[in-house]
């Protein structure tokens, strides 16, 4: 939808195919920490008004370690850059409103989507809706349909290299209508496992704890979650924590994936269709927006009669930033989680890494640079 909105502002027509219903899309609870570049792009796309009013600007981030809470001054370390907490669901609301106001075409509940002729000059997509088959002829196809979508599967394996990494743990997340324990996001490293304090707004908190990858949500009552969560926080934070009934509870696996070619013919992959990062560092949504920056610029260039050079360079440009961002996400994951198979030596090195980062201005500056988002 962001790509469609940007193209509309440059008089380029597009159609969005969505497999689920609008109510389903708007009901999903997703990420909420936005890089500076993501915020800037949303404003340029004309969907930043509510973000400006309701987004929570964060100038720093907390790292809890050995029962002590440390602050990293992101704003000061990056010459004034910040991150903004504003839920992905809210961005989706804003994009739906903008596309509706502009008469944009969004076809929901589109089943059995298939792509045809993507390596030709006349690609097209087919789908079924309410029992009828439909066809869309187009010039280009943007595959923004996630890891399990049809787009990446439409690229021959001989031209696609896939890289995978899975972790032996996941994040158990709880959403509760309670005030956040802190005004800023806090990442906590603890011998029992990682914990994260985040929020969606002043009365909606999002908390996570590390759990084994084969754990089940049914194993965790609200009482058990809060008890374990408090155990992993510094005592000063745990004493301030306001608990309450969960309104959503889920376990997200931690894994990394990169498809090392995001382009085949007239098909271009973006977002989770081309890459997945662990949620540590809050990069998934932001990396998808980064893809759209490069792809929209290339399409605008093409329709402005500047040729296809931008489109031919899209994959390389996007992947350069993707791999750097994957590196940061993996660094954060290794730094903050408990790895059950680590030796005592490896655990001490992990502690040394944390101690070094929190006492080195250069290390904190490097962390802050990646956290607010690398330049496009």
| From 279, 293, 294, 317, active-site residue | 279
Q: List own/partner pairs for 93-100 with CB under 8 A and 24 or more apart.
A: 93/26, 94/42, 94/47, 94/50, 94/51, 95/1, 95/2, 95/5, 95/47, 96/1, 96/22, 96/26, 97/47, 98/5, 98/45, 98/46, 98/47, 99/1, 99/4, 99/5, 99/8, 99/16
Put the strands of the sheet holding 263-264 in their side by side order: 141-143, 267-269, 263-264
- Who contacts 364 (Cβ-Cβ below 8 Å, separation ≥6)? 72, 73, 77, 357, 358
Cross-strand bridge partners of residue 275: 258
CA–centroid distance for 132 within its chain: 34
Cross-strand bridge partners of residue 252: 171
| From 190, 275, 283, 317, active-site residue | 283
Judge contact between 200 and 87, C-beta under 8 A. yes
- Who contacts 148 (Cβ-Cβ below 8 Å, separation ≥6)? none
CA–centroid distance for 174 within its chain: 18
Active site residue 8: no
Active site residue 283: yes
Put the strands of the sheet holding 246-259 in their side by side order: 68-72, 61-65, 186-189, 195-201, 204-212, 162-176, 246-259, 275-276
> Which of 111, 125, 140 is CA-nearest to residue 12?
140
Q: How many residues does the chain have?
A: 376
Active site residue 81: no
Alpha carbon distance 33, 200 (integer Å): 9
C-alpha separations of 8 from 22, 105, 266, 267, 364 in Å: 20, 11, 19, 19, 40
For 333, what's the count of Cα atoms within 13 Å in the CB-facing half-sphere? 25
Judge contact between 95 and 2, C-beta under 8 A. yes
Alpha carbon distance 111, 89 (integer Å): 22
Mind telling me the catalytic residues? Answer: 58, 187, 279, 283, 371
């Amino acid at each position: 939808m962001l790509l469609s909105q940007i193209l509309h502002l440059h008089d380029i027509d597009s159609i969005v195919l969505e497999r689920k219903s609008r109510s389903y899309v708007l009901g999903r609870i997703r990420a909420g920490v936005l890089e500076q570049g993501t915020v800037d792009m949303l404003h340029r796309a004309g969907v930043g008004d509510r973000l400006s009013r309701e987004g929570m600007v964060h100038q720093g981030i907390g790292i809890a370690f050995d029962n002590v809470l440390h602050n990293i001054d992101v704003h000061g370390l990056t010459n004034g850059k910040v991150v903004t907490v504003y839920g992905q669901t809210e961005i989706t609301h804003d994009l739906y409103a903008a596309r509706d106001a502009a008469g944009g075409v969004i076809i929901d509940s589109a089943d059995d989507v298939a792509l045809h002729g993507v390596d030709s000059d006349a690609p097209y997509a087919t789908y079924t809706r309410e029992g009828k088959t439909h066809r869309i002829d187009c010039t280009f196809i943007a595959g923004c349909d996630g890891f399990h979508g049809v787009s990446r599967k439409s690229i021959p394996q001989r031209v696609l290299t896939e890289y995978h990494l899975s972790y032996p743990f996941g994040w158990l997340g709880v959403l509760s209508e309670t005030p956040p324990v802190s005004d800023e996001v806090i990442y906590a490293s603890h011998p029992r496992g990682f914990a994260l304090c985040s929020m969606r707004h002043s009365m909606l908190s999002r908390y996570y704890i590390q759990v084994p990858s084969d754990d089940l949500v049914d194993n965790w009552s609200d009482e058990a979650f809060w008890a374990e969560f408090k155990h992993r926080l510094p005592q000063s934070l745990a004493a301030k924590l306001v608990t309450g009934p969960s309104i959503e509870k889920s376990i997200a696996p931690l894994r990394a994936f990169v498809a090392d070619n995001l382009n085949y013919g007239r098909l271009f992959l973006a977002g989770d269709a081309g890459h997945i990062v662990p949620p540590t560092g809050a990069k998934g949504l932001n990396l998808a927006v980064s893809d759209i920056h490069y792809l929209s610029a290339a399409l605008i260039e093409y329709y402005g009669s500047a040729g296809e050079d931008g489109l031919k360079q899209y994959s390389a440009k996007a992947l350069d930033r993707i791999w750097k961002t994957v590196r940061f996400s993996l660094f954060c994951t290794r730094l903050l989680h408990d790895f059950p198979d680590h030796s005592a030596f490896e655990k001490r090195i992990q502690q040394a890494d944390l101690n070094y980062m929190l006492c080195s201005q250069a290390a904190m500056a490097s962390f802050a640079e990646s956290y607010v988002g690398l330049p496009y």
